[in-house]
Structure 1
Amino acid sequence: MKIGFIGTGVMGSRMVKRLLDHGYQVHVYNRTKAKVKALEEHGAMYVESISSISLDCDIICTCLSMPEDVLEVYLGNSGIIEHARPGTICIDLTSVGADTSKTISVQACEKGIFYLDSPVSGGPEGAENGTLTIMVGGEKQAFEKVLPLLSVLGETIEYLGPSGSGSIAKLLNQYLVAVHSLAASEVMVTGATFGLDSEQLYNILKVSYGDSRILRRHMEQYVFDRQFQPGGAVKYVHKDVRLANQLLHKAGIKQFTGQMAEQAFSNAAKHGLNDLDMSAVIVPLEEQCGVVVKKEAQN
């Protein structure tokens, strides 16, 4: 069984390594060829074009940045749908809107190709350790065929229903990520503004009902050390919460906290923080209040 993998960035490269380590034959394509060198040394085979990898592989995984990238890779003239053989199973691990997933699924079905929207949660650490959560929508028959492969990449794998279901679940997760990121930032900046020791405040919050995985992640791994290399970048959370907000609007909710989170991440992007970790959403708030959330010992 030949596996094709398109998109070998921070997440994709780690997934490819896991597949190779578990005995899969993996062919890789990335727009920037230099990014696949380490994977070639690990046993992956580089393919020169999307059309070639689509024609030659039985299963094609994609892990891309933005919805427009996914549409181009799947529906472009040189894309997967145009060149893949009938019966090919495509696994899109990118976070996109349900409409994007459904659009691709319809065109894939017309060509006899299976398309599974299968976004993941768990970050680079989860990708490296095979502990991702994978949320899958699409044909159940195709899902069952690729479940052994998905089990190499993830620890929690859920089939949620028809095309678009996986994308919806992931966006709802990202909605919480964005909202919790903003709430944690607001609380920590407000505490610092009123003279509370940031580390002491954090230690209280993490053993109280205000605790959250996002609070712990952001403070312990990024904010206190003032180290904002991603992780999950601001630009991706901004994209995800924007798409998630569209879901809430379609559901009939008129006002919701995600609107403020989208604005906060947009503001962080305008501050030049797009490529930093999502926890950097705290920085514009710190600047606004004239404080820095950090450990007392660093003062």
Structure 2
Amino acid sequence: MKIGFIGTGVMGSRMAKRLLDREFQVYIYNRTVEKAKPLLEQGALYAESISSLASRCDVICTCLSMPEDVNEVYTGPDGIIENARPGTVCIDLTSVGADTSKTIFGQANAKGISYLDSPVSGGPEGAENGTLTIMVGGEKDAFEKAKPILEVLGETIEYLGQPGSGSIAKLINQYLVAVHSLAASEAMVAGAAYGLDSEQLFNILKVSYGDSRILRRHMEQYVFDRNFEPGGAVKYVHKDVRLANQLLHEAGLERYTGQLAEQAFKKAAEKGLDDLDMSAVIQPLEEQARVVVKRNK
């Protein structure tokens, strides 16, 4: 089986490496060839174009940044749909809106190509260790064909049904990620503004009902040490919560907390923090309160 992998950034490179470790034959394409070098050294084969990769692979995985990237890679003249063989299974690991997933599914299906919207949760660590949660929408037969590959990449793999279902589940998750990130940041900044020891407050919160995985992640891995090297970047969470807010609106819900979270991540991006880890959403709040949440040396 020949597997194509398009998009070998922070997440994609780790997933492609796992496939190579399992001795799959993997063709890769990335806009920046330099980023693909470690995978080539491990035995991956480089495709000079998307069309070249699409025409020779049985399964194509895509892990891209934005919905527009997904549209270009799949539907452009040099894209997957125009160049893949009938029977090819496409696994899109990108977080996009359900409408994007449904549109691409329809265009792929018309060419005899299977498309699974399969966004992931778990960050770079999950991608590296194969412990990702993978949420899948699309045809059940295609899912069954893709399952052996998905099991290399993830630990929790859920088939959710019709096209777009995976994307909807991921956006709901990202809605909570964004809201929890803002709430945790506000709480810790408020504590610091009132003179509480940040580590002591955190230790109280994490054994109380105010605890959350996001609170622990942000404080322990990023904020206290003032290290904002990205796992999941501000710009991606901003994109995801914007799409999630649209989803809630279409469901007939008001978007109270989601709108606030979208505004907070937009502000962080406008302040030049868009490529930092999502936990950097705390920095504009610290600036407002004139405090810094950090470890006491």
Tell me the TM-score normalised to structure 2 length. 0.99
Matches within 5 A, 1:3-18: 3-18=3-18
Segments of 5+ residues of structure 2 without an aligned counterpart are none
**How much has 1:296 moved relative to structure 2?**
1.6
Find the aligned partners of 1:176 and 1:182 in 2 and give their Cα distance: 10
The code of the aligned residue for 1:258 comes to: G
**How much has 1:254 moved relative to structure 2?**
2.0
Is 2:141 the counterpart of 1:118? no
The code of the aligned residue for 1:87 comes to: G
**How much has 1:255 moved relative to structure 2?**
3.8
Find the aligned partners of 1:283 and 1:62 in 2 and give their Cα distance: 32
Q: Which 4+ runs in 1 deviate beyond 3 A? A: none
Find the aligned partners of 1:116 and 1:142 in 2 and give their Cα distance: 7
Find the aligned partners of 1:276 and 1:239 in 2 and give their Cα distance: 14
Find the aligned partners of 1:182 and 1:53 in 2 and give their Cα distance: 41
2:152 is matched with: 152
1:43-69 per-residue CA deviation (whole Å, 9 max, x = no partner) reads: 100010000000000000000000000
Say which is worse superposed, 251-260 or 138-147, in terms of deviation: 251-260
**How much has 1:289 moved relative to structure 2?**
0.5
Q: Is the Cα–Cα contact under 8 Å of residues 234 and 265 in structure 2 kept in the other structure?
A: yes
**How much has 1:76 moved relative to structure 2?**
0.3
The code of the aligned residue for 1:146 comes to: A
1:202 is matched with: 202
**How much has 1:106 moved relative to structure 2?**
0.4
Find the aligned partners of 2:53 and 2:106 in 1 and give their Cα distance: 21
Identity percentage over the alignment? 79
**How much has 1:109 moved relative to structure 2?**
0.6
Matches within 5 A, 1:29-40: 29-40=29-40
Matches within 5 A, 1:58-137: 58-137=58-137
1:179-203 per-residue CA deviation (whole Å, 9 max, x = no partner) reads: 0000000000000000000000000
The code of the aligned residue for 1:4 comes to: G
1:220-245 per-residue CA deviation (whole Å, 9 max, x = no partner) reads: 00000000010000000000000000
2:232 is matched with: 232
1:278 is matched with: 278
Tell me the TM-score normalised to structure 1 length. 0.99
Change (3 A) 1:243 1:115: same
Q: Is the Cα–Cα contact under 8 Å of residues 245 and 255 in structure 2 kept in the other structure?
A: no
1:28 is matched with: 28
Is 2:280 the counterpart of 1:257? no
Q: Is the Cα–Cα contact under 8 Å of residues 234 and 278 in structure 2 kept in the other structure?
A: yes
Find the aligned partners of 1:263 and 1:282 in 2 and give their Cα distance: 13
Segments of 5+ residues of structure 1 without an aligned counterpart are none
The code of the aligned residue for 1:124 comes to: P
Matches within 5 A, 1:154-193: 154-193=154-193
Q: How many aligned positions are there?
A: 297
SS class of match (1:296): coil
2:213 is matched with: 213
RMSD over aligned Cα, in angstroms?
0.5
